[in-house]
Structure 1
Amino acid sequence: MVVEKLSNCIDLHRELKALGVDGGGVSILEDKAHFHLIRIRDLHVGAANILKQDALSIGADLAVPRGTVTASIPRVDALLIATERQLQQLVKKEKAQPFGLKALSVELESFCHLKHDEDASIMGILNANDDSFYHASRFQGSKAIERIETMIVEGADMIDLGGVSSRPGSIAVSAEEELSRVAPIIDALYEQKFYEKTALSLDSYEPLVIHYALERGFRIVNDITGLANDEVARLCGSYGATAVIMHMQGNPVNMQENPSYSSLIGDVELFFRERIAKAESFGIKDIILDCGIGFGKRLDDNLSLITHQSHFLRLGKKLLVGASRKSMINAISPSMSDDRLAGTLAIHLKAIEEGATIVRVHDVKEHAQAIKIWKAMRG
């Protein structure tokens, strides 16, 4: 007899099939190995007691604070622990319950049947400005085209071109100045038909610059203001472009001046829901969501958004994370050098594990290799 402890991160479906388990059994057993952890805030104590009993009746559980059973406090926070099948059963039970549990069932239902695509895409970064925070991402003229060609060979699925720095404290430039920086690169990419080789993205929120790029083969608009400008939304809709909606508190000048949230995950989700509705009202069909690591966030906020990426999967959109070489890495692990590649890889692999499907990176080759190795280890 040989006994082996297996990782919880293996491809369980493949393992069960290899054992010869029948189709129905694979589905049942696979479900038991994966569970939801769902935090519920400000729950009526009566609802908490009902939910606790209903959860226990189907084999799930609800962690509640001391004093909940005696209703010594009117409202409580709780943590639901349930498999996918148990969550579906619980949703049905709560639809007929009082104390706000019917509304809660709708929220819980949105976490059922979530699909996590682990085939992550790489967005390579190229800056046409001289003040981007990472100097090695700055290229102009023929060097920019060479760099883009290199990133495509290294494994980039899309290229994100920007002409204005959005680092904390940076000052915006005029749309005309921004266009003068990126237009030569856009023209060269168009002339050489790079739009047939890769997906081209423009990191901008200026309608003048966006219109110029969309006329010349660009199909993605990466807007750090999250479609705040109606004209940007109109352009994306009329050209059938993909819109990357990023969350930012404040603006690059003041965003890191004591940022705070009443409920981080909830606040970011509410922003996403509002901007998704706006995007769809302008006819935008393809939307990507970016929680905006480092844009009006404290270190703990950044870590929470990366760790809990899966929460946003219920919005039904692809998720992008861009933490490449950002200062949060040094905040966690101070270093005498500015080399933040190892920290970047750790963050992005965790983001992919939690549901991100696109990582925006400076180091394409290293990310392509890391993702390939990570996937191989997961089976």
Structure 2
Amino acid sequence: MATAEDKSIIIMAIVNLTDDSFYPGSRCLAEGGIFDGEGFRLRVRNMVKEGAGILDLGACSTRPGSRSVSEEEEWERLRPGLLAVAEECPGVRISIDTFRPAIVSRAYDLIGSFIVNDVSGGCADMWSTVGELGLEYVAMHTRGTPETMQQLTEYDDVTLEVIRFFDTIAETAYRYGVKDWILDPGFGFAKTVEQNWALLREMDRFGKFGKRILAGLSRKSFLYKPLGITPDDALTATQIADFIALDKGADILRVHDVAEASRTIRLFRLYRYSSGGSPSQKPV
């Protein structure tokens, strides 16, 4: 039987095939929105080398305030990235950050099985598509759309209301035959700075669902705004938040900075599971 020390912690690396994601350092399109095949391949190779177990490709920005591109534009951005990853990193899981069932179907026809990372919270067509194709599904809590979400932050108890949302998700997943779904509390989506911190502090409450928990904290505004800095300067804040998330039960860290996340996980394991030992032991 696996012990807590053996728990698998996976890094999901953010690969943005967009030109308007909130953190410029994550964008993989060249100037003018052109796909840079050589640069893209180098980036994903490095991410895998640094410890990424999942590459999460997104071709339509969902940052607060953003407007969606058309389905065709999303697909034209996504398709070359999918082919490059499938060829360059055949042993690494692919995740697709999309809310469109049609994109899921087209991607499945192109590369086969992958993880659907749906920031919309799911619709009937998406659930039906995921269930029929037998795909893993990341269900994320949010409200409204990227354009309206930050006006929808009224909660009596944010953690309790997010738990109730996932009670419904569990029922929906069962109804549509989606057996393998991942729980994402939706940090930064339809939540204030204070609500995000409350959710992080109480994240262990989601253990009741018995599902893997994904924490997407990387360089988000609830980390950098209280410090008066920008996303570019929020790496240290991200590592601290990721450490807390791991201690609260996170199984997957969705990050921009893979090498630093790997180091955070290594230190977390020392903190959480180290039993001490004799002075003669070599340092880790």
For Structure 1 versus Structure 2, the TM-score category normalised by the shorter chain is: 0.7 to 0.9
Structure 1 contact 141–184 (Cα < 8 Å) conserved: no
Deviations 1:115-161 (A, max 9, x none): 89753211000010100011111113322222111111100010100
Higher relative contact order (CA 8 A, sep 6+): 2
Asked if the contact 1:306–1:351 (Cα under 8 Å) also holds between the matched residues in 2, the reply is yes
CA distance in 2, matches of 1:352, 1:266: 20
**Which one of the candidate residues 222, 229, 246 is aligned to 1:328?**
222
Partner SS, residue 161 of structure 1: strand
In structure 1, the partner of 2:24 is 135
Q: Does 1:236 align with 2:130?
A: yes
Question: Matched residues in 1 for 2:166 and 2:219: separation?
Answer: 25
- Which is further off, 118-127 or 318-327? 118-127
Point out the structure with max Rg over C-alpha.
1
Deviation per CA, 1:276-321: give whole Å up to 9, x if none: 2112211111110101011000111100111111101001111101
Kept after mapping to 1: 8 A contact 2:51/2:259: yes
Whole-Å Cα distance in 1 between the matches of residues 105 and 170 of structure 2?
21
Name which of 161, 170, 181 aligns with 1:287: 181
Change (3 A) 1:304 1:163: same
Among candidates 59, 62, 71, match of residue 166 of structure 1: 62
Structure 1 pair 180/296, CA: closer, same or farther in 2 (3 Å)?
same
1:213-257 deviations in whole A, cap 9, x for unaligned?
Answer: 2221341000001222x2211221122211000000221101112
SS of aligned partner of 1:294? coil
SS of equivalent residue, structure 1 residue 171:
coil
The amino acid across from 1:287 in the alignment is W
In the alignment, the residues of structure 1 paired with residue 152 and residue 210 of structure 2 have an alpha-carbon distance, to the nearest angstrom, of: 31
> Could you say which residue in structure 1 is the equivalent of 2:279?
none
**Runs of at least 4 residues off by over 4 Å:** 115-118
**1:188 aligns to what?**
84
| Whole-angstrom distance in 2 between the partners of 1:337 and 1:317 | 30
2:74 partner amino acid:
E
Q: Distance in 2 between matches of 1:293 and 1:116?
A: 26
Instruction: State how many pairs are aligned.
Output: 263
* 1:152 and 2:48 correspond: yes
TM-score (norm: length of structure 1): 0.66
State the match for 1:28 in structure 2.
none
How has the CA–CA distance of structure 1 residues 199 and 282 changed in structure 2, closer, same or farther, with 3 Å as cutoff?
same
Q: Which residue of 1 aligns with 2:32?
A: none
Structure 1 residue 207 corresponds to structure 2 residue 134: no
User: Does structure 1 residue 121 correspond to structure 2 residue 17?
Assistant: no
**Are positions 1:296 and 2:185 aligned together?**
no
- Say if 2:144 and 2:152, in contact at 8 Å, map to a contact too: no
Percent identical? 36
Pairing partner for 1:278 from 165, 172, 180: 172
| Aligned counterpart, 1:315 | 209
Structure 2: state its 5+ residue gaps: 29-34, 275-284
Structure 2 Cα separation of the partners of residues 369 and 262 of structure 1: 37
Give me the whole-angstrom Cα distance separating, in 2, the residues matched to 1:338 and 1:200: 26
Q: State the distance in 1 between where 2:17 and 2:161 align.
A: 33
Two-structure CA RMSD over aligned residues (Å) = 1.9
Q: Deviations over 1:141-192 (max 9, x none)?
A: 32222211111110001010000111111011211111111111112333x1
Q: Secondary structure at the match of 2:150?
A: coil
Q: Deviations over 1:25-52 (max 9, x none)?
A: xxxxxxxxxxxxxxxxxxxxxxxxxxxx
Give the match for residue 224 of structure 1. Answer: 119
The amino acid that maps onto 1:306 is L
Specify the code of the residue in structure 2 equivalent to 1:223: D
Aligned to 2:248: 354
| Contact 2:14/2:26 (8 A) holds in 1 | yes
Query: What are the superposed Cα offsets for residues 85-125 of structure 1, whole Å, 9 maximum, x if unpaired?
Result: xxxxxxxxxxxxxxxxxxxxxxxxxxxxxx89753211000
Amino acid of the residue matched to residue 187 of structure 2?
I
Where 2:73 maps in the other structure, the secondary structure is helix
Partner Cα distance (1:218, 1:293) in 2: 27
> How many angstroms apart in 1 are the aligned matches of 2:214 and 2:130?
18
